[in-house]
Structure 1
């Protein structure tokens, strides 16, 4: 830990000495409640806990650019997420969210390193801004992943349109497919309209979809390694922003009879009551084949800005599961028993710097 602290202090010192380097971050914490959480004894009970990242990930980052001339720039970004309630990082890596370097110019940008996986662009389609009760909830975090060994290219914007292409190398001898991730994200923007399409592939250790094992020895599911399609858009009318989205998951290599297809739908709205207060409302539905069941998720929330950097937030939701489904109201492992419904709520403070 001393070595890590020393490295961060060194970067901070460099940032003060170089105007092209910026330190940024966010600290988010509060309190969280969920009902009907399944217990080890086969029962269920309510759970009260501190909320570390329910509204948004706490993080610290360092970014910088250098003008190389002729319209070409070099850039880097180092970013680590953490849980403010425990002071622990979100994973064992020093920079567990992003650590990349690249070049940008008139032909677009090229990045090498670690980044969020390309389906994180669902953030732009999420009425909640990817809160714990949001687009990741009913797909068990499938659209909320990171990616190592990334090569990423983003085009310039032409007439409101741009595209991003990403591959994350699996680094497995004898195969270019095993554990590899690939994806493309397309966006079109015109005044208040924004349309997005994302398609990606997450392969397992066999280069397939749902046939491998997780690190804990359990078998992959359609929510772990699969083919994913996301379509959606937003439209802003004065103080009102509308959201509509669809997500499809397919894992053709899962064990026979296991769920291999998921359809996820949502719609929602943000309304800016005052410059400081924004109200949030959204509805999500998921259908899983082969006995996976279905669920409806309802969320309401509010953000209140005390300043440009400090925000108060509250969110509440309920998930209504079918008899064979056990989806949580939040994007967490605190699932109810199959067929049980679950309610949840959280509130807290987020400060950005």
Structure 2
């Protein structure tokens, strides 16, 4: 037997022993992910010279985020489990992560038992709670569009507690520490989510606050108070969605908007086992001359298999004279008072 053979045999024996030990401890780790890519177009995008033009580009996260992650649990005995979750979002068109952090979506550890779940680290549970209320599943043309992504915010430095499901009712409470010397409020975020789920319907109430570096609510679409109420109703092949969102930034600079009211209605229709049709309407009204806008969206998802689907979505935003909301949740805005069309199509594969 050669040294190389002995070396490989030793590695195999160690791997086998590690796998046996892992199984004996009742732990498991799952690798998962999704890759999404396609093409995207938006009209009337304002240019730096004050003009406007049509923007063509590769589609990254318009339908949904490309991502990869690891999650695992370990049975600690007595109904108690240890858990962890690491997840990174990226854009397939350029192969870049969504931000500088390696795990830009989730990086947390925790314990779970009959009493509920306690987690610490980075997460985006409030965004996930609102995702369930959006007929598009929070696509770029969806519930985040007319609030400029305010309800997509994640939570760094988080400590969160989630109750077990009690007869259909569950709750989540969290704080996201600001890490500022001498202050417990600067840059801190807090949130509370209440959910009631039944076989045919679901109701949600979500309240979260995000403070600026001075502990104030100074930016309506960034550091503000957010209340969301909504629900879904399933009737055979239809699933109906309704939501209301109120944003408040009482510490905004003089003349800047301090309030926005946002609501939506929509539906999913399972036309065939493979084809789902989507339709939605969104409206936002902003005070202090911020204007208002209506957003209309139609889409379709077609499953080629359990893991691969084709998607297509189209929408238009109708802005009032003072508003410049984009048709997608991006900074590719039209000039104030201009309308905009947008569409994207592509393929998504999950693993």
TM-score normalised by L of structure 2 = 0.92
CA distance in 2, matches of 1:269, 1:133: 14
- Displacement, 1:117? 5.1
Aligned: 1:43 with 2:51: yes
Aligned: 1:332 with 2:330: yes
CA contact (8 A) 1:120 1:143 kept: no
- Displacement, 1:191? 1.3
Aligned: 1:285 with 2:246: no
- Displacement, 1:120? 3.7
Match of 1:275 in 2: 273
What is the aligned counterpart of 2:236 among 235, 238, 259? 238
SS of residue paired to 1:118: helix
What is the aligned counterpart of 2:138 among 126, 130, 134? 130
What is the aligned counterpart of 2:173 among 160, 165, 177? 165
CA distance in 2, matches of 1:195, 1:184: 14
Match of 1:96 in 2: 104
Q: Deviations over 1:175-206 (max 9, x none)?
A: 00000000000000111110000001100000
CA distance in 1, matches of 2:127, 2:338: 29
Q: Deviations over 1:65-88 (max 9, x none)?
A: 000011110000000000000000
CA distance in 1, matches of 2:128, 2:144: 10
CA distance in 2, matches of 1:28, 1:328: 22
Aligned: 1:150 with 2:148: no
CA contact (8 A) 1:29 1:50 kept: yes
CA contact (8 A) 1:226 1:251 kept: yes
Structure ID, larger Rg:
2
Gaps of 5+ in 2: 1-14
CA distance in 1, matches of 2:318, 2:101: 36
Aligned: 1:86 with 2:84: no
Match of 1:34 in 2: 42
- RMSD of the TM alignment (CA)? 1.3
Aligned: 1:257 with 2:265: no
- Displacement, 1:91? 0.8
What is the aligned counterpart of 2:147 among 114, 117, 139? 139
In the TM superposition, what are the counterparts of 1:7-22 in structure 2 within 5 Å?
A: 17=19, 20-22=28-30
CA distance in 1, matches of 2:128, 2:289: 28
Match of 1:214 in 2: none
Gaps of 5+ in 1: 1-12, 211-220
What is the aligned counterpart of 2:307 among 309, 324, 329? 309
Aligned: 1:299 with 2:297: yes
SS of residue paired to 2:165: coil
- Displacement, 1:147? 1.3
Aligned: 1:181 with 2:189: yes
Q: Deviations over 1:288-313 (max 9, x none)?
A: 00000000000000000000000100
CA distance in 2, matches of 1:326, 1:257: 17
CA contact (8 A) 1:120 1:145 kept: no
Q: Deviations over 1:88-107 (max 9, x none)?
A: 00011111100000000000
CA distance in 2, matches of 1:332, 1:71: 45
CA distance in 1, matches of 2:256, 2:96: 36
Aligned: 1:76 with 2:84: yes
CA distance in 2, matches of 1:163, 1:117: 11
Match of 2:225 in 1: 227
